[in-house]
Each structure stands twice: as C-alpha cells, then as structure tokens.
C-alpha cells in the first residue's frame, strides 16, 4: 500500500475526534513525503504499529497547542507543558485517533491485523525524530488552537 493512501484513515479519524471531543473544525492539507526524519514542533505523541504493518504514528504539535488542547479536553487551566495532565491529554487524543484509524484499516483489509502500542510522549526544543530505513508521510491539520501534524511511518511486515 502507498504510504499516502495509508495516512487517509488517520486524517479521517482526527477529523472526527477533533470535532466530537474538542469541538474544533480542522482544515486539512495535502499528504507530503517527509523522508526518514522530521523535526518536531515541540510536542510529539507516538504510537507504535505492529502486525501487518510495522511503524509509528506521530501526532505532532507546538507546546502551546498541546496546552490549549489539554485545557479544551479537561476543562482546566494548565500553563506548563511539565504538568503531567497535559502530556496525558495529548496521549489520550493520539490513542483515540490511532485506535479509530487502525480499526478502519483492519476492517477494510482483513488479515492485516495491526495492533497498537501504548502511546509515549516527548516534548522539548529542536527535537528530531529519526526512523531508520522508513519513509514518513505527513498531513498538516490547521485548527483554531494551532497546527497539528499527523505523521505516519510504516512498512509492510514480511
């Protein structure tokens, strides 16, 4: 499967999750090739994929956007990225998006049987993500709280 086709279910799932959970409309950009590494905007949640596909799903945004998203989701007023709840809120969103997307993919492609790892969160300045021998594909989503980037890297398992 082409990676640009593979990212479509993730975009669809994000659209639904942002609308239903955060009451945000998103404007989606074009799928772009990223090569084997990409620079984070400051806050990245990563969910691993195993089974018929092997790779990662990244939800990447700036730290301000992550805080705004946590505020919207929890209804609290967080100010710092170092508060654990902000990280957990981001993880939960990524978990739901990847869960929905993978359910779709597994339903359409019977036998693929992709499974997800629990999400991990990284935040920092000038952070880069490197995936050896894999190609990433990204879609930029614009919303009222800032830009959120979806990034999928995967290969079909042998």
Partner 1 sequence: MDVNHINAFITGLVEVSGMLGIGSLTRTGLSKREKLKTENEVNIIIGLVGDIKGNVVLSMQEKTAMNIASKMMGGMPVNEFDLMPKSALCELTNMVSGRSVSELEKIGVLTNITPPTLVHGHNLISLISQVETLVVKFAAEEGEIEFNIATEN
Number of residues that bind partner 1 (CB under 8 A): 40
Q: How many Cα atoms occupy the beta-carbon half-sphere of 51 within 13 Å?
A: 14
Do 137 and 150 contact (CB within 8 A), yes or no? Answer: no
Measured from the Cβ of residue 21, the count of other Cβ atoms closer than 10 Å reads: 15
CB of 81 to partner 1, least distance (A): 7
Question: Which among 10-18, 26-34, 52-60, 96-104 is the span making contact with partner 1, rule CB under 8 A?
Answer: 52-60
| CB-nearer residue toward partner 1: 18 or 56 | 56
Q: Which of 78, 119, 112 shows the shortest CA–CA distance to 97?
A: 119
Among 21, 134, 135, 140, indicate the residue that binds partner 1 (CB under 8 A). Answer: 134
Is 48 near partner 1 (CB under 8 A)? yes
| CB-nearer residue toward partner 1: 25 or 50 | 50
Among 19, 76, 107, 115, indicate the residue that binds partner 1 (CB under 8 A). Answer: 115
Residue 39 CA to its chain's centroid (Å):
14
């Amino acid at each position: 499967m082409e990676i640009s086709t593979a990212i479509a279910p993730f975009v669809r799932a994000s659209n639904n999750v942002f609308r239903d959970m955060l009451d945000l409309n998103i404007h989606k950009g074009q799928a772009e090739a990223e090569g084997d590494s990409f620079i984070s905007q400051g806050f990245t949640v990563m969910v691993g994929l195993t089974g018929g596909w092997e790779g990662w799903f990244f939800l990447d945004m700036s730290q301000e956007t992550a805080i705004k998203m946590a505020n919207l989701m929890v209804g609290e007023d967080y100010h710092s990225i170092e508060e654990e709840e902000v990280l957990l809120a981001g993880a939960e969103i990524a978990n739901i998006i990847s869960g929905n997307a993978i359910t779709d993919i597994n339903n359409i492609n019977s036998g693929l049987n992709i499974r997800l790892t629990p999400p991990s969160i990284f935040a920092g300045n000038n952070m880069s993500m490197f995936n050896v021998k894999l190609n990433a594909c990204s879609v930029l989503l614009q919303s009222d709280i800032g830009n959120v980037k979806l990034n999928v890297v995967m290969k079909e398992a042998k």
